[in-house]
Chains A and B, each alone.
With several copies, the nearest count.
Chain A
Amino acid sequence: MKPVTPTITPDMVRQHGMTLEEFRRIQDLLGRAPNVTELGIFSVMWSEHCSYKSSRYYLKKLPTEGPRVLQGPGENAGVVDIGDGMAVVFKIESHNHPSFIEPRQGAATGVGGILRDIFTMGARPIALMNSLRFGAADHPRTRFLVNGVVDGISNYGNCTGVPTVGGEIYFDPCYNGNILVNVFCLGLVPSDKIFLGNASGVGNPVIYFGSKTGRDGIHGASMASSEFDESSEEKRPTVQVGDPFAEKLLIEACLELMNEDWVVGIQDMGAAGLTCSTFEMAGRGGTGIDLELSRVPKREEGMTPYDILLSESQERMLVVVHKGMEEEALALFHKWDLDAAIVGEVTDKPVVRIFENGNEVVNLPVELVVDGALDLKRPTKKPGYLQKVDHVNLADVPDLARGDETLKKLLASPNIANKHWVYEQYDHMVRLNTLGLPGSDAAVLRVKGTKKALALSVDCNSRYCYLDPFHGAQIAVAECVRNIVCSGGGPIGLTNCLNFGNPEKPEIMWQFEQAVSGMGEACKFFNIPVVSGNVSLYNETIGEAIYPTPTVAVVGLLEDRTYHTTQWFKEEGDLVGLIGLTMEELGGSEYLSVMCERVEGKPPYLDLPLARTINNLCLSLIKDGLAVSAHDCSEGGLGVALAESCISHPHAPTGAVLDVESTIRNDACLFGESQSRILVSFSAESRTAVEEKAKAVGVPFKVIGKVGGDSLVVNVNGEEFINEEVSHLKKLWMGALESYVR
């Protein structure tokens, strides 16, 4: 060790975001005090972001296995088999804190990070999605943040040539001080050519490649592990700038490299940079690594070992190749104009030793760093607010005599408005796979060389989760699955991004525990393995937490791509049927929020067995060629779903006349958000066949009207309730989002 190492003071420990208990634990297990560089390493590796110390205990409740699962959680991303010798690799990840500080670069580097997680495993990234949450649409910062985030995603995704095929965007005051930027990526890989991030084979060289290391992003991981306060300004120089061009080269170079038999293990440098990839690769390989920092390509002069090891410069990778193949590998990287250097070697003792010009500056046992953080079983406590909000008194909400104005207001509300302002900024077609473009329930991509297609959807209604995190999380899973089903697919895997407040507060931990339990139960019920995920805690500003937001992304498979179905009505004269039950449920609805500014009540009841039967029915109607459109009812209920089925057609909107029978309040009938409802349309000749199928499985089903005309007309119990020209509705719905964010 260098003798000049300053002794570590309690202040330094705190500045590194560690508790004194944790520091004592390090000292005890290490048998000595760490030096400053080592302290830095512990601080990032034991941070919430890297160690999952608050969440790991609960995450065990999620089902992670299934016959298709080739790789569950623990690697850079999960892998699910889709047959035909192919597999999909996918994951979702958050970049919330950086995007709040610098929306454009924060979001861009979020895309970069998730892309690397996918191609690290040998997969060609073929689709991106994003789940975005901003503060109130009229909050002064929202416009700036939305524009920056969307621009950042657009720029990075488009430049790397990976289509952004779907996503979601919500506005709610609970995100005023903490926006959420969750990015999902899916890649395609031959199922026998999956690469893992492990360093094995003593004597094998460790190669660094990609961009040079600068001083950027030092301590990003620990930033993501603490709340925002006024001093977050100070943390600003840690913002990284993304270089999508470098990333594109990195993708191509990696995939070319993986065509060869040279690679032993490979991992990107994400949060905690070189440190994390070195320790994790050694950890998975059960080996050690010797690293020489003077060989690391650097962008700046005078970087200390601390800087180099903790830098979060983007677009960098670490690979272990078979000994003797290093020159070939380097030549390949240079072909792609990437910096590359042999920086180390795999050793047999499970210790990472790091040298600077031959002087040892770090010497740490791998296991202590990678797995040493104690799982905290943090206390939980049911939050007091629930008592105030978990019921809704409709006595002072007069029922609606007509629904036209409400429908228009909902269609023009930012959460329901059409999102083309966002997705037209994304190249969603490149690579020629996108059969189902953004604008329907799920994105659908063909799998070249097979008959198959993939369906992707990302979802979470965080208002429901605020009112009841257990059922809210279940609903998120169910809705995502329903989106897949409406598009003609069946779910095969799930990934999640759990965005919550400060886990040190028992109330937040309670939300977390409830949401994970609910999600786990729903996944078990639907038989969907959770193969990857991400946890983002400390989404709080000055003590104000966001609504619990357990975002889920579900990947579905269409055995035949001709099953692909869209949400809009197709032909005049087709009949419209509603599968499912409408109950008097207004709790947590968009209607209550937009029309009455109330966030209260219980989220709608989710009957899992009924949801499954309905999904099966819908799928079989699609597969038998009976249903020509299918759309699930979500925010805004039946009324909005009907309007969307009329107006979301990419060319011409079409009207419909519906006759609804109801024994409940009008507002609940049209704008309540009862779960597991799907609108389908089919030709008049198919009516008997459809009705018989529904009857056979005992699912509530009613033909409620007919496609045609220029207006959406809804009669309730024989009385006209809505009558609006569809061209007018379309204009409102298409133009609304832009009017808020531009």
Chain B
Amino acid sequence: MIIRPEMLAKIHITFKNGVLDPQGKAVHHALKDLGYDEVSGIQMGKYLEVRMEGVSREEAEPRVKEMCEKLFANTVIESYRFTLDS
């Protein structure tokens, strides 16, 4: 049996600095109302786990980058970062 390498990309997508985060704003507001006064700021973002088969880390890296730019993140307003685990 051939063991096909598996890679797991963990991707975080958040709004760029200065871009309004309406969700974060509303959630922050709700937390204040609930009495969590210690909270000084909230950022809402997306988290994706992408499982890949039959690719090495070197192969996976540019592919994930491409997926992020093409599909996952809207680079006009969002930035992304990811890690690769095998």
Question: Known contacts A243-B25, A245-B26, A337-B29: does B74 contact A104 (CB below 8 Å)?
Answer: yes
Judged by a CB distance under 8 angstroms, whether B19 is at the interface is yes
Interface size class on chain A is 20 to 34
| Complex A-B, nearest 6 residue pairs according to Cβ-Cβ distance, in ascending order | A243-B22, A241-B20, A102-B76, A215-B18, A236-B76, A239-B76
Q: Does B77 contact A (CB under 8 A)?
A: yes
21 contacts between A and B (CB under 8 A): A102-B74, A102-B77, A214-B18, A214-B19, A215-B18, A216-B18, A236-B76, A237-B16, A237-B18, A239-B19, A239-B76, A239-B77, A241-B22, A241-B77, A243-B20, A243-B25, A245-B26, A246-B22, A299-B20, A300-B18, A313-B20
Chain A contacts with B in 314-344, Cβ cutoff 8 A = 314, 337
Bound complex: CA of A182 vs CA of B77, how far in Å? 22
Residues in A203-253 with C-beta less than 8 Å from chain B: 211, 214-216, 236-237, 239-246
For the complex, give the distance between the alpha carbons of A647 and B22 in Å. Answer: 32
Roughly how many angstroms separate A260 CA and B20 CA in the complex, as a whole number?
32
Partner of A216, one of B20, B26, B29, B74: B20
**Chain A binding surface, main DSSP class:** loop
Residues of B within 8 A of A216 (CB): 18-20
Instruction: Give the residues from 49 to 71 in chain A that come closer than 8 angstroms, CB to CB, to chain B.
Output: none
Interface string of B20-58 (1 = CB under 8 A from A): 111001100100000000000000000000000000000
- The reply to whether the CB of A583 lies closer than 8 angstroms to some CB of chain B is no
Binding site for A on B (CB under 8 A): 15-16, 18-22, 25-26, 29, 74, 76-77
Q: Which of A370-386 contact B (CB under 8 A)?
A: none
Q: Output the nearest chain A residue to B75 by Cβ-Cβ distance.
A: A236
Q: Please, how many angstroms separate the alpha-carbon atoms of A300 and B15 in the complex?
A: 14
List chain B residues, Cβ under 8 A from A314. 20
Residue of B nearest to A300 (CB): B18
CB closest residue in chain A, given B22: A243
Once bound together, how far apart are the Cα atoms of A633 and B33, in whole Å? Answer: 38
B80 to chain A, nearest CB (A): 15
CB distance from B56 to the nearest CB of A (A): 26
* Complex CA–CA separation, A114 to B70 (angstroms): 30
Q: Given A245-B26, A337-B29, decide whether A101 and B76 contact each other with a Cβ distance below 8 A.
A: yes
Contacts of A245 in B (CB 8 A): 22, 26
CB contacts (< 8 Å) of A337 on chain B: these are 29
A202 CB to nearest chain B CB (Å): 35
Chain A residue at minimum C-beta to C-beta distance from B71: A144
Contacts of B76 in A (CB 8 A): 101-102, 236-237, 239
Say yes or no: A241 contacts B19, CB within 8 Å: yes
Nearest-CB distance from B41 to chain A (Å)? Answer: 11
Measured between alpha carbons, how far is A637 from B76 in the docked complex, in Å?
A: 42
Q: Give the Cβ gap from A315 to chain B, nearest Cβ, in Å.
A: 9
Q: Cα distance A313–B22 when bound, in Å? A: 12
Question: Which partner residue on chain B sits nearest A246 by CB separation?
Answer: B22
Q: How far is B18's CA from A243's CA once the two chains are assembled, in angstroms?
A: 15
Taking a contact as CB atoms under 8 Å apart, the answer to whether A105 and B26 are in contact is no
B25 contact set on A, CB distance < 8 A: 243
Contact with B along A170-214 (1 / 0, CB 8 A): 000000000000000000000000000000000000000001001
User: A291 to B5, alpha carbons, bound, how many Å?
Assistant: 38
**A35-52 contacts to B (CB < 8 Å):** none
Supply 14 further A-B pairs (C-beta < 8 A) apart from A102-B76, A243-B25, A337-B29. Answer: A102-B77, A105-B77, A214-B19, A216-B19, A237-B18, A237-B76, A239-B76, A241-B19, A241-B20, A241-B22, A243-B22, A245-B22, A246-B22, A299-B20
Chain B residues, CB < 8 A from A246: 22
Q: Chain A's nearest CB lies how many Å from the CB of B25?
A: 7
Q: How far is the CA of A240 from the CA of B16 in the complex (A)?
A: 12
- In the complex, chain B residues whose CB is within 8 Å of the CB of A105: 77
Query: Please, how many angstroms separate the alpha-carbon atoms of A574 and B19 in the complex?
Result: 52
What is the minimal beta-carbon distance from A340 to any residue of chain B, in angstroms? Answer: 15
Shortest beta-carbon distance from A285 to chain B in Å: 31
Determine the distance from Cα of A102 to Cα of B74 in the docked complex, in whole angstroms. 8
Once the chains are docked, how many angstroms separate the CA of A239 from the CA of B75? 11
In the complex formed, the residue of B with least CB distance to A239 is B76
CA–CA, A244 to B26, complex, Å?
12
When distances are taken between beta carbons in the complex, the residues of chain B under 8 Å from A236 are 76
* Cα–Cα distance between A245 and B18 once the two chains are bound (Å): 19
**Nearest CB on A from B57, distance (A):** 27
Contacts of B77 in A (CB 8 A): 102, 105, 239, 241
Q: Which residues of A contact B18 (CB under 8 A)?
A: 214-216, 237, 300
Residues of A within 8 A of B74 (CB): 102, 104
Contacts of B29 in A (CB 8 A): 337
State the Cβ distance, B11 to closest chain A Cβ, in Å: 19
User: Which chain B residues border A101 with CB–CB below 8 Å?
Assistant: 76
Q: How far is the CB of B51 from chain A (nearest CB, A)?
A: 14
In the complex, chain A residues whose CB is within 8 Å of the CB of B22:
241-246
- Which of B25, B26, B77 has the largest number of chain A CB atoms within 10 A? B77
Closest to B25 in A: A243
Once bound together, how far apart are the Cα atoms of A239 and B19, in whole Å?
A: 8
B16 CB contacts on chain A under 8 angstroms: 237
Q: Which residue of A lies closest to B18 (CB)?
A: A215
Contact B26 A214 (CB under 8 A): no
Smallest distance from the beta carbon of B79 to chain A beta carbons, Å?
Answer: 11
Query: Nearest CB to that of A101 among chain B residues?
Result: B76
A244 to B20, CA, bound (A): 12
Nearest to A243 among chain B residues (CB) is B22
**Chain A contacts for B20, CB-based, 8 A:** 211, 214, 216, 240-241, 243, 299, 313-314
Best-buried of B18, B20, B76 by chain A (most CB within 10 Å): B20
Which B residues are CB-close (under 8 A) to A104? 74
Q: Which residue of B lies closest to A244 (CB)?
A: B22
Contact with B along A262-292 (1 / 0, CB 8 A): 0000000000000000000000000000000
A242 surroundings in chain B (CB, below 8 A) = 22
- How far is it, in angstroms, between the C-alpha of A314 and the C-alpha of B15 when the chains are bound? 16
Query: What 1/0 flags go to A635-674 for Cβ under 8 Å of B?
Result: 0000000000000000000000000000000000000000
